[in-house]
A and B are shown apart, each in its own frame.
Chain A
Amino acid sequence: MKKLATVGCCCAGCHVAILDLHERILPLLKDVELSHSYIISDVKAIPSDLDIVVVEGGIRTEHDAALAKEAREKAKYVVALGSCACFGGLPSLANLYDTKEMMNYVYTMTPGTSAGEIPHVEIPRVTQKLEPISSCVKVDYEVPGCPPEPDDIALIIGGILSGERVELPKKSVCDECERKRLEKPPAKVRRLFEEPEDKRCLLEQGYFCMGPATRGGCKARCPNSAVPCDGCRGPSAVSWDQGLAMLDALSTITYENVKDYSLATHTGTFHRYTYASSLLAKLQGLVEKR
C-alpha cells in the first residue's frame, strides 16, 4: 500500500478540489493510504516513508519553506498542487510591493482596521517574495489551476502509482471553448457588466479573456458561461510567460484603448496567477539583488 500525504500552506481550496473527486476518490484509496493530510485528516506529524506528497500553496513564510523541504525529504515524489504551488498564484501579486509596506498596510492601514499591529508572536517570518514550491525544492509533477481539476489530480496520482507516464493537456482554453470567432477583433475594451453576445468569442468582443494564453483542460467552463477566462491554470505548457504572451497577443486592443498603463493594473490582469514565475519578476529579482 503506497503512502500519500498532502500538506498545505494556503487557502486549502486545492484540498477541497481533492475532496471534489467525491466517490471517484475511492478507487485511488484502494492503492494508496492517506497517511497525512492538511485539513482533511487529523494526523499531526508528517510520516517519513512517503511515496507521494502533494503540496498546496506557495512559499510565503519560512514555515512554508520548511514544510516544502520536509515534504521533499520524506517523499519519493513531490506534486505541486494548484497555481500557487506551481507558479505563485494570486498571492504572488504581492511581489509587486515592498514586503514591509505590504504587511504594514494589511495589518494596520486597511479601512476598518483600528489599533492594528503586525502579528509577531510565534508567527513564522514572512519571506521577501512569494515563490512557487519549485524555488525551494525539486518538484516532480505540477497540477495547475485555481482550483485544479479534481480529475487532473486523480490522473497524476494514478499515474505515479501505476508507473505510467501521464501528461496533462497541453493546449489552451480556446480549444475547449464553444464560442466561435466570427471576424476581426474590435478596437474597444469592454467590461464584464456590458453583456457579451452569446456564442461569439469573448476576446473578439473586447473582453480580456486570457483563454489563448491559458492552459486547457478545464472544459472552458468560464468562457462557456460568459465569464472571460482569467488565466487561473497558468501558461499553456509551451508558453514562456503567460502574461507577456497575452500582452503581445492583445497589441491592437490593449495599446489603443488602455491609456493609463500601470504595471499593477495590467499585471493583475495578465500575470494574475503567474507573477512569481514571470520573466518580469525574474528580472525584478535580479535588479533587487544587486
Chain B
Amino acid sequence: MSEPEDVRIGVFVCHCGLNIAKTVDVKAVADFASRLPNVVYAIDNEFTCSEYGQNQIKTAIRDHQLNRVVVASCSPKLHELTFRRTIEQAGLNPFLLEMANIREHCSWPHLHEPQKATEKAKSLVSAAVERAARLEEIGTVKTPVKKSALVIGGGMAGIQSALSLADYGFTVYLVEKQPTLGGKAAQLGRVFPTEDCGLCVAPQRQDMHRRCMYKTRILTRPNIKVFTLSKIKSLDGYVGNFKATILKEPRCISEELCVGCGECETVCPVQVPNEFNYNLDKRKAVYLPFPQALPHTYVVDRKNCTRCRKCVEICPTKAIDLDQAPSEFAVEVGAVVVATGTDEFEPIGMYGYGKSPNVITQSHLARMMDPGGPTAGDVIRPSDDKRPKRIAMIQCVGSRDPSTHLYCSKICCMISLKHARSLKAKYPDVDISVFYKDIRASGKNYDVYYEDCQEAGVKFLRGEVEKLSEDSGTGNLSLHFKPLSGSPHTAEFDLVVLTNALIPRKDTEELARTLNLSLSPDNFFAESHPKLAPLDTKLDGIYLCGGCVGPKDIPESITQAMAVASRAATLLAVGEVEIDLAKAVVDENRCIGCGNCETACPYHAIELPQTGIAHVIEVACKGCGVCVVECPTMAMELRHYKNEQVLAQIDGILAG
C-alpha cells in the first residue's frame, strides 16, 4: 500500500499546561512539524484533550481538508480513544489518528534536559507523521451471538451457574463426567458454616427455603439439558459461535425407563470397592452412586461387569442394554463456562499414609461421619473397627510445602475444625490434637468453629510433625513433634487424620488443550487478570468458576458461579459482538497454505480450510501480529501495524 494521492496531515502539539511545555519547546516542535512531508497544518495548543482543544482539531479538519491527524501529547493509553472519537465526529475514520507520546516518554522523564527533550520530541513527531501518512481506514463488523451456553462440570459451581443462566432464559448444556451431578459436595456430609448437607444448592428466586439438589428440579427445567457420563471431545469456533462435540459414555441403563427400583443391584454377583466411600465399603457392578444421585438412574460399571445378564432379565422396565455404544452430540453455544472443580492430593508415603491403616485423610473421615455413609456415622479405626480415643489431625499435608505444593489449599483448616467440633459433640471423651502451621478461619462465621473447638478441649499444637512411626501390634501411631517454641516431644495416637491439599484435576491439561486455555504455574486454570477479570480467560466467551481456578469453599464457589453467569449473560444478552477490523489479513495471492500462521496463533484465530488459503477469523483475532512475522511469503499482514507502517516510523525517527 503506498501513500494515498493526497495525504493532508494536521499536527497538534499539546502544551498540557506546563507538563509538556515547561520542558519541551512546543512551538519549535509545531514549527518543525509544519515543514515535514505531507503536513499541511501544524499548531500547538494548551490542552488538546479539552473541549476547546478537540474543537480546534475538528475545525482544522474541516477548514484544511485534513485526512490524517497527529496529536503530540500524552500517552495514547490515556487519550487515544478520546481523539479517535474526536476525529470520527469530524467525519474521519477513527484509525486515521496517530499519537506521539511527548509527555510520559519525553517531557516527564527528561525534566532536566529541555534541549535534548525538544530534539527527541521532534524525532517522535517525525515518526508519527511518517506513520500517519500510511494509515488506512479500518471498519468494524458485528457478529451475532448464539443465546446458549455450555457448562462443563456438574458440581456445585457448575449446577449453580447452569441454574443462573437458565434463569436468564438461555439454553444451557450441562456436561458432567460422572454418572451423577453433585461433584465433591456430595461426599462432604455436613458442611461449614451452615452445618447443612453439602448438596444444598441455592434456592429459586421466588422461594427462599433451602432445597436439596434433589429437589431443584434441575433435570426438569426445559432449558437445561444435562449430559452425564459425558465430556467435551472438541471445542471449535470463537466467542458467540462455539461448536462443541459432547462424547457420552454408555450408562447401559436407559434414563427414561429406569425407575430406580434397585432390583438389578440386588441380583448383581459382582462386588467392588466403593470409590464414593473411599473404598470403606463395597458396591455392585450395577449401582446407584449415592442415594440422592441425580439423575436418579442406576449405572453399569462396564469395567467390572461380567455380563452375566442377571440384571437385564430382572429389570421390570427392560431398561438395561449392556451393548449400548458411546454417543456424540454436537451443540452450538455462545459462551462456555468451565466448572470442573478440584481433585484431592493423595499423600502417599507421607506420614505413613498408604502403609499404616490408621492413617487416613479428612475425606475418609467425612465419609465415616456422614450418617448416610458406610459406617452410619460411626468413626472407627480401619485396623480393628474400634472407636478411636486419641485422634491427631495433621494440617497442610501437601500444602504450603516446597516438596509438593507451595499454595495454601484454603479450606483445610475449616475442614479440621468442623470435624473436630463434630467429633467432640458426638464423642465428648475423645482426645483430639490438631498439629498446625497457622489456623486460617477467615470466612464469615468461620472463627466460631475455632472458639468452639478450643472450648471443647481440642488441643492445638503449632509446629512441625517430623516423624510418624507405627506400632504394628496395636496399630497406634507415634508422632514426633517439634513445636514452634519448646522442645520436641513424642505423643501416641490411635487414629491420625491427614488434612490433605486440593489439587487441579488430573485431566486439567487435557481439557486445557481441548479448549485452548492457559494454566497457571500451579496448574489450575489461568484467569485473565487475578484482580480485574478473575473469571475471564484469554479467550473471549470462555469463563471459569469454582475450584478449577483455585481451591475455595462452597460460599465462594456459589458466588463465582453466580458471577460467571453474569459474565456469560452479558455476552449472550447483548446478542452480538462488535469488533474493529485492525486484525490480521491474508493476501490470498501470496498464501501457500503452509499453516505456520495457524500454528503460531495463540488464539486459534486462523484456520486453513480445504482451499489451502489461510483464513483469519477476525472476531477471534487479537491483533498481536505474531503470524505476520512467521509467514514465509509475506502473505500475512496486520492492519494498523503493517510492515510499511512500522518501517515508516523507524525511518521517521532516524531521519536527520
Contacts and interface: CB of A to CB of B under 8 A. Distances in A.
A and B touch in the complex (CB under 8 A): yes
Interface of A: 170-172, 174-175, 181, 184-185, 203, 211-213, 236, 238-240, 245-246, 248-249, 251-252
A181 B632 contact: no
A161 to B, nearest CB: 29
A213 B590 CA distance: 11
A246 B633 contact: no
26 contacts: A171-B592, A171-B633, A172-B632, A174-B592, A175-B592, A175-B593, A181-B608, A184-B599, A212-B594, A212-B632, A213-B632, A236-B590, A236-B592, A236-B633, A238-B633, A238-B634, A239-B632, A239-B633, A239-B634, A245-B633, A248-B629, A248-B630, A248-B631, A249-B630, A251-B630, A252-B599
B380 interface: no
A185 B599 contact: yes
Nearest to B629: A248
B600 interface: yes
A174 B594 CA distance: 7
B595 interface: yes
Contacts of A213: 632-633
Contacts of B629: 248, 251
B592 to A, nearest CB: 5
Contacts of B596: 212, 249
B39 to A, nearest CB: 29
Interface string B288-309: 0000000000000000000000
Contacts of A236: 590, 592, 632-633
Contacts of B590: 171, 236, 238
B591 to A, nearest CB: 9
Interface string B585-617: 000011011111001100000001000000000
Given A172-B632, A172-B633, A238-B634, A181 B592 contact: no
Interface in B600-656: 600, 608, 629-635
A246 B599 contact: no
Contacts of B633: 171-172, 212-213, 236, 238-239, 245
Give chain A's interface secondary structure class: helix
A252 B598 CA distance: 13
Given A172-B633, A181-B593, A212-B633, 12 more contacts: A174-B594, A175-B592, A184-B599, A212-B592, A212-B594, A236-B590, A236-B592, A246-B632, A248-B629, A248-B630, A251-B629, A252-B599
A174 B630 contact: no
Contacts of A185: 599
A249 B636 CA distance: 12
Nearest to B631: A249
A240 B634 CA distance: 8
- The listed residue with most A CB atoms (<10 A of its CB), out of B589, B600, B632, B633, is B632
Nearest to A173: B592
Contacts of B592: 171-172, 174-175, 212, 236
B140 to A, nearest CB: 29
Contacts of A240: 634
Nearest to B628: A248
Contacts of B595: 181
Contact of B632 (A184, A248, A252): A248
Contacts of B594: 172, 174, 181, 203, 211-212, 249
Interface string B438-452: 000000000000000
A248 B597 CA distance: 11
Contacts of B632: 172, 212-213, 236, 239, 245-246, 248-249
- Pairs A-B, 8 closest by C-beta atoms: A212-B632, A249-B632, A213-B632, A212-B594, A172-B592, A174-B592, A245-B632, A248-B629
A200 B630 CA distance: 21
Contacts of B589: 170
Contacts of A249: 594, 596, 630-632
B625 to A, nearest CB: 12
A113 B589 CA distance: 52
A271 B294 CA distance: 65
Task: Select the residue from B594, B600, B635 with max chain A CB neighbours within 10 A.
Answer: B594
Nearest to B597: A249
Contacts of A248: 629-632
A181 B593 CA distance: 9
A130 to B, nearest CB: 25
Nearest to A216: B592
